[in-house]
Structure 1
Amino acid sequence: MKHETRSSKPEKLILGKDAKVLRQVAKPVELKDISSKKLGDVIARMKRAVHAEDDGVAIAAPQIGASLRIFVVRGGVIPQVPEDRVFINPEIVKASRKKKKMEEGCLSLRYLYGAVERHEKMTIYAWDEKGKKHIIGASGLLAQIFQHEIDHLEGILFTDKAKNVRDLPPTKNEA
């Protein structure tokens, strides 16, 4: 995984661990507001932020300072999501009983990693940025992403659940 230094970026797009909004339960988006310019601007900022990080796979609105129940999965990172995909007001419909420890990191907690026990499979529903409701089943990495991002919307960071959290700063070759 290649990491960039924060100083090389013109603006700080992603908030760090001390931002209060990361510990708050995000507000639901009113369905009438889904097609608004204001919400479109938030989603555009989220996409810019996740694409600004080589190792970014997804981002939740609170990570850019917006207390809204939205997350974006970056397109092209996993086969199930070929293009950026927006999830508005996501809700877990079903989760498998079987869980698995999975390694995680977070763009708001740079260079911290740890094992988090996550459901292996899950189904969520959410609206897209066009106002269409979707029911999505996922397993493996996509199920892990759903759980990690929904945790963000509940004010929970992965380090609250992780075992053996460790700090792995980039090497000089990666910086």
Structure 2
Amino acid sequence: MGMFDFLKKKDTTPENSPVKLYAPANGKLIPIEEVADPVFSQKMMGDGFAVIPTDGKITSPAAGKVLSVFPTQHAVGLLLENGVEILLHMGLDTVELSGGPFETVVKEGDQVTPETVISTVDLAALEAAGKDNAMVVVFTNMDKVSDFNLSASGDVSTAAEIGSVTANA
């Protein structure tokens, strides 16, 4: 060990340590390939996962900072501590609903944890509008992602750890 080794970056820096992922809703965890929208299922926006919710309480899928809240409240962008960016997209083709079923309570710049409620979604209103209610989590800067894994499957609950994402060093 050299005298100045303490100045060197260690391998445990936030940039390349795994960040835990959590279920954004109570419901059934599905691989992104099973989402009923090719933009997501074919990973055009990035890899990820989805939860088919059993209730409308939507929480943050990871600890981080809110980058953006879409004006229609159906999607929220998050920045994780390792630099990975997440899009939490609530329902499919829900931009057309102009925010109606969504009561999104976070705002740009907010720090969030897996316990933070992002939005309350009126699932009955989504169903009435003929919209799929999948809560999709997508990594939008895949060039920054070195590893992503899900350690859970089937029924999950909010704030339950379901996997991790690791960024490039």
TM-score by length of 1: 0.26
Higher relative contact order (CA 8 A, sep 6+): 2
Greater radius of gyration (CA): 2
More strand by proportion, 1 or 2? 2
TM-score by length of 2: 0.26
More helix by proportion, 1 or 2? 1
